[in-house]
Amino acid sequence: MTEVLEPTLTRPVDDAALATLFTEAHTINSFAPTPVTDAQLAEIWNLAKWAPTAANLQPLRVVFPQSPDARQRLVRHLHEGNRAKTLAAPAVALLAFDKDFHELAPRVVPVKPELRDQLAANDDARYQLGRFNGALQAGYFILAARALGLGAGPMGGFDPVGLDAEFFPEGDRSSILVVNLGHPADTGSWYPRLPRLEQAEVLRWE
């Protein structure tokens, strides 16, 4: 007989939560001076880690360049238009994927002991899996920040070669996204909503 699911597992969230996560949420470009604590930054991961990855491999790694020196080292590799707002943000996360994520496979996928060696033997599959699932986890990270009441400003506008050399000189990680984090200064902290695609342009039933 099928076990009855815990009601919390599939309970829809209310409209206020949907607004915070999706319908009213915006990408934030300027922030109030309200600080973001290290505990809040850790809490983003403590939520995001529960969202799924292929085979549970979890390739995302996160650096918080919070000291003035680290922030300057980050900003010099961003595109010009992303620099001032990143210097001013209360917190910033540099999201990357671990190119050697397969080394942890025996611990995080104990049900498939052969996986580490399979991935070690296939450079292309390993890279694709790491990059795709790292990006997936970056999306979860943004939504987790929103769920905790923070505004997020994701940015892909950076020099990936320079950024990787700066923060991952051993060559073991590859940058995916930089995310400014904080509380929006005011309603001018985001741009007007750009059009989303229509349902009929995206969805198809067969």
Ligand X SMILES: Cc1cc2nc3c(=O)[nH]c(=O)nc-3n(C[C@H](O)[C@H](O)[C@H](O)COP(=O)(O)O)c2cc1C
Residue with Cβ nearer ligand X (29 or 58)? 29
Residue 160 binds ligand X, judged by CB under 6 A: no
Q: Among candidates 204, 185, 193, which has minimal Cα distance to 29?
A: 185
- Judged by CB under 6 A, which stretch of 31-39, 41-49, 99-107, 186-194 contacts ligand X? 186-194
Contacts 24+ apart (CB under 8 A), 11-17: 17/147
Rounded to whole angstroms, the Cα distance separating 81 from 155 reads 10
CB 63 within 8 A of CB 173: no
Q: What is the rounded end-to-end Cα distance, in angstroms, of the chain?
A: 32
Shortest CB 46 distance to ligand X, Å: 22
Shortest-Cβ-distance residue relative to ligand X: 157
Residue 204 binds ligand X, judged by CB under 6 A: no
CB 151 within 8 A of CB 182: yes
Q: What angle do CA 153, 22, 144 make, to 5 degrees?
A: 60
Q: Among candidates 64, 55, 171, 28, which has minimal Cα distance to 109?
A: 55
Residue 191 binds ligand X, judged by CB under 6 A: yes
The helix-helix angle for 38-48 and 123-147 (nearest 10°) equals 120
Shortest CB 73 distance to ligand X, Å: 18
- Judged by CB under 6 A, which stretch of 12-20, 33-41, 51-59, 191-199 contacts ligand X? 191-199
Residue 177 binds ligand X, judged by CB under 6 A: yes
Residue with Cβ nearer ligand X (27 or 56)? 27
Q: In this structure, which amino acid lies at residue 47?
A: L
The helix-helix angle for 68-75 and 160-167 (nearest 10°) equals 150
Residue with Cβ nearer ligand X (30 or 105)? 30
User: Of residues 65, 134, 151, 154, which one binds ligand X by CB under 6 A?
Assistant: 154
User: Of residues 26, 49, 83, 116, which one binds ligand X by CB under 6 A?
Assistant: 26
Binding map of ligand X across residues 70-99, x = CB under 6 A, - = no contact: ------------x-----------------
Residue 155 binds ligand X, judged by CB under 6 A: yes
Q: Where do contacts with ligand X occur on this chain (CB under 6 A)? A: 26-27, 82, 154-157, 177, 190-191, 193-194
